[in-house]
C-alpha cells in the first residue's frame, strides 16, 4: 500500500503486532539503566555520585546503589525491587555493604502517584540555578512561557505557562518524599518537582518520555537563567504575541 507521502506503508497484522520494543518493555532494563546513567553523567546531571534514574517494568523496579559513581555502575550492581511493596528482591551479591539509592521513596512517588515507568533525578547546575531565581524564591514554583521547548512536555503548548512546583531541600534525600508527594498532588499537571539548591525529579510513562521531559526542562532552566541575566522576563508572554491578552504579558 502506498501512503499519500509516497512511502510504502504496511498494514499491521493484529495477530502479529509490530514489535516496538522501546514501548513494550522488551529491552533489558538493567542495560538501559546503566547506559542512561553514563549519558546523564556526560550531561553533568549525575556527577559526584548524586542523582540517578529508576525504571519500572511490570512487577519490577530497577534502581542503582547509593553513593556510587553512577556512570560506572555495572549490571550486577543494580537492585531489583517489588513495584507494589517496594521490597528489595535482588541485591548486588558481590558487594553486601551496598544500599539502594536514597532516592528510592522519591522514585516511588512517581511510580505510585503518576503511574510513571521511569523517574530521573538530576543535580544539573542549571536546574539548581533555576531554584534560586528571584521569581522562584517568592512563589515556591518555577514558571515559564512562550518557548518552543515547552511543547516537549506532555499536554503543553507554546502559549501555555509551564509551572513546576519547588520544595525546600532537607538534610537527607529520603526526607524529601512527603513534600514531593504533596507538591505532586497540588500540581497535577506538572511532570516534575524541583528541589531548592539541590536538583530535579522528573518522570514519564517510560524512560524515553522521562528523558525527553528532563532534557526539555533542563533547556528551559538554562534559558530562564540566561533570560534573567539579560534582564528579560521568562514568566510573561512577549508584548507582540497576538494570541495572548494584555493580562498574560
Ligand X SMILES: CSCCC(=O)C(=O)COP(=O)(O)O
Tell whether residue 159 is among the known ligand binding residues. Answer: no
**Residue (47 or 145) nearer to ligand X, CB:** 47
**Residue (122 or 136) nearer to ligand X, CB:** 122
Q: Are 61 and 83 in contact (CB under 8 A)?
A: yes
**Binding string to ligand X for residues 90 to 129, with x set by CB under 6 A, is what?**
-----------xxx-----------------x--------
Q: Which of 12, 148, 209, 215 is catalytic?
A: 148
How near is the Cβ of 36 to ligand X at its closest, in Å? 14
Question: In whole angstroms, what separates CA 158 from the centre of its chain?
Answer: 20
Cell of 60: 519490577
Total chain residues near Zn ion (CB under 5 A): 1
Note whether 51 binds ligand X by CB under 6 A.
yes
DSSP string computed for 113-174: HH--SEEEEE--HHHHHHTTSHHHHHHSEEEEES-GGGGGSTT--TTSEEEEEEE---SSGG
How near is the Cβ of 71 to ligand X at its closest, in Å? 12
Q: Is 148 part of the annotated catalytic residue set?
A: yes
Note whether 152 binds Zn ion by CB under 5 A.
no
In 3D space, the residue among 145, 124, 146 whose CA is nearest the CA of residue 194 turns out to be 124
Note whether 170 binds ligand X by CB under 6 A.
no
- How far apart are the C-alpha atoms of 62 and 172, rounded to whole Å? 21
Binding residues for substrate: 103
Catalytic residues, by residue number, are 148
Amino acid at each position: 500500500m502506498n501512503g499519500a507521502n509516497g512511502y510504502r506503508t504496511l498494514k499491521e497484522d493484529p495477530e502479529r503486532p509490530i514489535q516496538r520494543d522501546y514501548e513494550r518493555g522488551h529491552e533489558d532494563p538493567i542495560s538501559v539503566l546503566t547506559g542512561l546513567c553514563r549519558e546523564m553523567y556526560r550531561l553533568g546531571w549525575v556527577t559526584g555520585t548524586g542523582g540517578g534514574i529508576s525504571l519500572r517494568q511490570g512487577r519490577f523496579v530497577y534502581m542503582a546503589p547509593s553513593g556510587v559513581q553512577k556512570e560506572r555502575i555495572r549490571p550486577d550492581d543494580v537492585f531489583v525491587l517489588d513495584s507494589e511493596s517496594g521490597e528489595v528482591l535482588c541485591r548486588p551479591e558481590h558487594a553486601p555493604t551496598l544500599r539502594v539509592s536514597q532516592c528510592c521513596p522519591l522514585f516511588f512517588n512517581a511510580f505510585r502517584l503518576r503511574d510513571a515507568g521511569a523517574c530521573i533525578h538530576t543535580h544539573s547546575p542549571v536546574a539548581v540555578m533555576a531554584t534560586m531565581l528571584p521569581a522562584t524564591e517568592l512563589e515556591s514554583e518555577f514558571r515559564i512561557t512562550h518557548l518552543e521547548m515547552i511543547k516537549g512536555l506532555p499536554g503543553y503548548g507554546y502559549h501555555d505557562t509551564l509551572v513546576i512546583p519547588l520544595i525546600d531541600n532537607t538534610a537527607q534525600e529520603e526526607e524529601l518524599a512527603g513534600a514531593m508527594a504533596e507538591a505532586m498532588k497540588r500540581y497535577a499537571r506538572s511532570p516534575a518537582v524541583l528541589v531548592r539548591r539541590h536538583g530535579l525529579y522528573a518522570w514519564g510513562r517510560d524512560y524515553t518520555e522521562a528523558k525527553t521531559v528532563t532534557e526539555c526542562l533542563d533547556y528551559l532552566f538554562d534559558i530562564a537563567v540566561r533570560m534573567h541575566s539579560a534582564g528579560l522576563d521568562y514568566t510573561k508572554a512577549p508584548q507582540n504575541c497576538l494570541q495572548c491578552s494584555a493580562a498574560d504579558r
